[in-house]
């Protein structure tokens, strides 16, 4: 169990709801009986509980079962996602999971190759990561000399231009066609990044950053277990960086 923001939301909802229920069904009738018809003053802790419970409960349910916001802290997914992007993640894309415990209770949808997914970082599950799904269970993945192979087939890509966005120097942008999913990646000439051959175990996924030479991903720490999945990223709703708001990124869908 991960003691993260979802856990504290749950505990806040639970405690405020219990205080409200305890007062309504037990303490309030006792106060009214002692007052003998006089006005009964409500304890301040009950006032706060009644105010906070519906808000906390609604946020917890929305965040736990429907959609959750995340902020991109690094450049590992450039040029798809910029540092400072605030994204929305569909929490039910791969089945409905119990918040906090993250246990699947309904649905059996699986990530597709090319999906941008948020998951709990396998070496440290309290940390959320975002990468692109490259390999599905049973796939053979090879990354060598900046070329990606999926099941012995090289993934096609075409040069677009030299990348001019913030956060990277001398990177080239390429359009990659990952078995029908077209998306941009960055490659840095002369830069050596992790290479190797990998077979994806059953119930796991191989994930890589689009910024191929500046991403710690499955090439380094291994595959992502199905139970670590949080959801599918689908939209940028805000971008806030040192330069202020980038209005052009607001509302962009994530490919």
Residue ranges per structural domain of the chain: 5-65, 72-249
The two structure tokens encoding residue 152: 């012995």
For 82-194, list the strands marked E by DSSP.
85-90, 96-98, 103-106, 116-120, 128-135, 140-144, 147-150, 153-154, 156-162, 172-178, 181-187
| pLDDT of 54 strictly over 60 | yes
DSSP state of 42: P
pTM: predicted TM-score of the whole model, two decimal places: 0.81
Q: What is d(CA 170, CA 24) in angstroms, rounded to the nearest whole number?
A: 65
Which helix (H) or strand (E) element contains residue 231? Answer: strand 229-241
| pLDDT of 75 strictly over 80 | yes
**CATH code for residues 72-249:** 2.10.109.10
Q: What is the pLDDT of residue 117?
A: 97
Catalytic site positions: 76, 131
Residues 90, 91, 96, 102, Cα dihedral to 10°: 160
pLDDT in tens, 209-241: 999 999 999 999 999 999 999 999 999 999 987
Sign of CA dihedral 216, 218, 224, 229: positive
Least confident of 57-71, 72-86, 151-165, 226-240: 57-71
Mean pLDDT of 29-33: 84
Give me the long-range contacts of 152-158 (CB less than 8 A, separation at least 24): 155/179, 157/185
| pLDDT of 168 strictly over 70 | no
The two structure tokens encoding residue 145: 């000399």
């Amino acid at each position: 169990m991960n003691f993260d923001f979802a856990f504290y939301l749950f505990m806040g909802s639970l405690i405020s709801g219990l205080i409200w229920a305890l007062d309504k069904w037990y303490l309030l009738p006792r106060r009214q009986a002692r007052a003998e018809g006089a006005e009964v003053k409500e304890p301040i802790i009950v006032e706060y509980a009644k105010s906070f419970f519906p808000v906390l409960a609604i946020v917890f349910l929305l965040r736990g079962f429907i959609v959750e916001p995340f902020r991109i802290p690094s450049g590992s997914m450039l040029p798809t996602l910029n540092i400072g992007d605030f994204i929305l993640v569909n929490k039910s894309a791969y089945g409905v999971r119990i918040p906090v415990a993250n246990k699947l209770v309904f649905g059996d949808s699986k990530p597709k190759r090319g999906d941008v997914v948020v998951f709990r970082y396998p070496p440290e599950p309290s940390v959320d990561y975002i990468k692109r799904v490259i390999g599905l269970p049973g796939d053979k993945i090879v990354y060598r000399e900046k070329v990606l192979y999926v099941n012995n087939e090289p993934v096609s890509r075409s040069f677009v231009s030299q990348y001019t966005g913030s956060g990277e120097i001398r990177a080239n942008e390429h359009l990659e066609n990952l078995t029908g999913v077209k998306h941009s990646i960055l490659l840095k000439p002369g830069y050596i990044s992790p290479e190797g051959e990998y077979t994806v175990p059953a119930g796991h996924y191989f994930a890589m950053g689009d910024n191929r030479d500046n991403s710690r991903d499955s090439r380094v720490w291994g595959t992502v277990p199905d139970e670590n999945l949080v959801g599918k990223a689908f939209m940028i709703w805000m971008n806030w960086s040192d330069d202020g708001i980038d209005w052009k990124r607001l509302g962009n869908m994530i490919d």
